[in-house]
Structure 1
Amino acid sequence: MKRPRTLIPSRHLRETPRQSGGGRPRASLISKARESIEEGSKSFTAASMLFDEDTRDRAHLLYAWCRRCDDIADGQDHGGTLTLDDSDPKDRVEAIRILTHRALEGHPTADIAFDALGLVAAECRLTKEMADDVIDGFALDAAGWRPRTEGELMRYCFHVAGAVGVMMARIMGVPADDHDTLDRACDLGLAFQLNNIARDIWEDDAAGRCYIPEEWLAEADIPPGQHMKPMFRPQLVKLAARLVDLAEQHEAAARLGAARLRFRDRWAVLSAAHIYGAIGREVRERGEAAWDHRVHTTTGEKLRYLWLGLRDAMRDPEPVDPMPRWTRGELMVMARMEAPPAPMPTTPLRDEEVRPATPKPQPE
């Protein structure tokens, strides 16, 4: 009688080799990432062309991951329609997190955008904490969250843009311990997102979202969910201007950090600041007509902002006094306080000689 074969002991099993980028060729990942950014963001494409080749490629790799996460979370494809099953938004965010962690651990994900993140993370030492900060913003949207206070609005902006700014700074070679420059990179991301929120108030409302703090709406005597009604348009114009004013404060602070970057990186960052800042200022200038047509910058305007970025890159930044109310450190604390508690460890503790059931006999 034959004995049944036993399972192979675990010591004989080989672990899947870890490879940054999921084992895909670097050139292939960069090519796909470039296609993604050219389709998804003409503004970012224009500014990123000023980087040196390595920085540009890494910026595109990071953008591809951000774009893919955004599409999965919203059920879209580069902002367009994407046919998905009836999966729960929270499940989609959890899938984003799992794929992201797998990519950061050097495992293949079967998704080129996540493999792109794995590659750029390995090259620039991007951490799981940085990526989780970004994913937490998608989690807020999946939960149908809305900000009650200005602080909660800024915490959301930190997740979806400020944290990306920090990752971009690391890609540009800012050391992990240069906290002041990383703070300024976060400021730039906050400015970008505040301008985007001001521009997209109508689109967000159509999607059932609102990022204007409830306290701001109450101060303006606008009932919840009614801010797009014509009778409240004058108050809404003031709230949008308040968003843009806040964005300009953080943009001014970001320019201080840009001055410490290499020249081409500084030029790219300051050009992007002009392009995104112009969006917010156009919203403010249009007044009640701001949401009749989506605000955007033309190719000619982008070229002008690239020239202005070059001019600013050759000058010292203007001093900022006072600095913005909301800091990266404070927003990170808020984010950690609102995060779910860490899971309890499941590894059993050794009990040998930790607390003996009976005392050992002492030698006489």
Structure 2
Amino acid sequence: MVKSTPRQIGGGRPREALVRRAKESIAKGSKSFSVASLLFDKTTRERAHLLYAWCRRCDDIADGQEAGFRNKSGELKLDTSSPMDRVEAIRILTNRALDGQPTADIAFDALGQVAAETGLTREMTDDVIDGFVLDAQEWRPRTEADLMRYCYHVAGAVGVMMARVMGIPADATETLDRACDLGLAFQLNNIARDIADDDAAGRCYLPEEWLAEMDIPPGQHMKPQYRKQLVKLTKRLVDSARLHDAAARVGAGRLRFRQRWAILSAANIYGAIGEEVERQAEFAWDHRVHTSTLDKIGHVIAALKETISGSFEPQVMPEFTRGRLMVMARMDGPIPDRPMTPLRDEGIRRKED
């Protein structure tokens, strides 16, 4: 008789060790979110760091950046396995972590720990991993809807997971919708900032229809002669980010004081990235746009004022709702390594679609 491996939350590692390594991961990988997370209460902050460690590790494995080794001369040898193989490894390790099995990878064990504490589900992690599948398939968005579907996978779904980490119940649909909006806003600003970096990596997240409208040939959008058109497309991204950001702030009003302050601080910091890209116009991609420490402090102070006074209700809500994007994520285009799952009532309000 074969014995099954007993459940070991966090891979059997001490929770404090997982939290310590997760804190190191976020300090290295995201100074913006690291600053905002300091405003959380201790438990929420630790759980947010545990979730971030998994997200960061998945990114690194998918890109083949941290799955390699150094030879005797110290040269880094990156993982040469296929992108789809790397995504499959992410999915296998993630599922083991959610099943309470050790993974031999501290970031995935961190996911197992925070999932056990907050009720994160396989459906949630699958939504995120499907974004890596799209990249592995060298997928490109054809329409704005395609772009928003991708943003849902890589950021909107993470926003929903972060809301659950903050203790938002699974049936608090409106608040989870707004958490998704915040993730979408973050990603749209990131795409605007990283157009040049993505092009260097052979990726483009600007919809083909947008490029065609501007008479920009495929793969040529970073050429100097198209900078003015690119500025116009970037404004579309940033304007869309503002719309989702405004919606997200409504949801932040339903959080506890420290959580609201942290989330609004993050929103201000990431929003400033998009605004700076827009301000620099044709020069925005000559260097990577970032916010200084002093700027971050200013955004945190502004967030405190909004936390106390409250956020304005937006006059227009975004067209691409979480419910609509979840339907698109499951119905629009093949993702062969994930079986089709039935839609659940959670977060899906069919009257919106």
**TM-score after normalising by structure 2:** 0.92
1:355 alignment counterpart: none
State yes or no: 1:320 paired with 2:309: no
Contact 1:198/1:283 (CA < 8 Å) preserved in 2? yes
Match of 2:49 among 47, 60, 78: 60
- The residue that corresponds to 1:295 in the other structure is 289
Quote the residue 1:139 is aligned against. Answer: 133
Kept in 2: contact 1:75–1:83 (CA 8 A): no
Match of 2:25 in 1: 36
Give the structure 1 partner of residue 266 of structure 2. Answer: 272
Q: Equivalences for 1:156-195 in 2 at 5 Å?
A: 156-195=150-189
Map of 2:13 onto structure 1? 24
2:52 maps to a residue whose letter is Y
Give the superposition deviation at 1:343.
5.5
| Aligned with 1:48 (options 37, 46, 57) | 37
1:7 corresponds to? none
Deviation of 1:84 after TM superposition, in Å, equals: 2.8
Q: Which residue of 1 aligns with 2:121?
A: 127
Q: Does 2:90 correspond to 1:96?
A: yes
Structure 1: segments with no counterpart, 5+ residues: 1-9, 345-364
**Counterpart selection for 1:152 from 146, 155, 162:** 146
Q: Are 1:76 and 2:65 counterparts?
A: yes
Q: CA deviation at 1:155?
A: 0.4
Q: For 1:234, give the aligned amino acid.
A: K
Counterpart of 1:200 in structure 2 is 194
What SS does structure 1 have at the residue aligned with 2:309? coil
Q: Max radius of gyration: which structure?
A: 1
Following superposition, the deviation at residue 19 of structure 1 comes to 1.5
- Deviations, residues 173-199 of structure 1 (Å, cap 9, x unaligned): 111001110000000000000000000
Q: Distance in 1 between matches of 2:64 and 2:30?
A: 18
Equivalence for 1:249: 243
Does the 8 A contact of 2:66 with 2:78 survive in 1?
A: no
The count of residues paired between Structure 1 and Structure 2 equals: 331
Kept in 2: contact 1:40–1:67 (CA 8 A): yes
Cα distance in 2 for partners of 1:316, 1:51 equals 18
Alpha-carbon distance in structure 2 between the residues aligned to 1:40 and 1:74: 15
CA distance in 2, matches of 1:104, 1:246: 34
Q: What residue identity is the alignment partner of 1:99? A: L
The answer (yes or no) to whether the contact 1:192–1:277 under 8 Å persists in 2 is yes
1:296-336 per-residue CA deviation (whole Å, 9 max, x = no partner) reads 00000001111011011012211212100100000000001
Cα displacement string for residues 160-217 of structure 1 (whole angstroms, at most 9, x for unaligned residues):
0000000000011111001110000000000000000000000000000000000000
Residue type at the aligned position of 1:162? G
The two structures, once aligned, show a CA RMSD in angstroms of 1.4
| 1:137–1:160 Cα contact (<8 Å) kept | yes
Q: 1-side partners of 2:314 and 2:274: how far apart?
A: 20
Question: Quick one: distance in 2 between partners of 1:82 and 1:90?
Answer: 22
CA distance in 2, matches of 1:76, 1:82: 9
Q: Deviations over 1:119-175 (max 9, x none)?
A: 000000000000010000011001100100000000000000000000000011111
Partner of 2:70: none
In the TM superposition, what whole-angstrom CA distance separates every residue of 1:242-286 from its partner, at most 9, and x where no partner exists? 100000000000000000000000000000000000000000011
- Cα distance in 1, alignment partners of residues 26 and 161 from structure 2: 17
Whether the 8 Å contact between 1:21 and 1:115 is mirrored in structure 2 is yes
TM-score between both structures, scaled by the size of structure 1: 0.89
The CA deviation at 1:82 is 5.6
- Letter of the 2:207 counterpart: P
1:75–1:82: 8 Å Cα contact kept in structure 2?
A: no
% identical aligned pairs: 70
Distance across 2 between alignment mates of 1:232 and 1:246:
22
Q: Whole-Å Cα distance in 2 between the matches of residues 26 and 335 of structure 1?
A: 34
The answer (yes or no) to whether the contact 2:130–2:335 under 8 Å persists in 1 is no
- Does the 8 Å contact 1:183/1:328 carry over to 2? yes
- Indicate if the aligned counterparts of 1:51 and 1:265 stay in contact, CA closer than 8 A: yes
Partner of 1:283: 277
> Where does the alignment leave 5 or more consecutive residues of structure 2 unmatched?
68-74, 341-353
Aligned residue for 1:314, secondary structure, equals: helix
Q: Is the 8 A contact 2:64 2:79 kept in 1?
A: no
3-state SS of 1:221 partner: coil
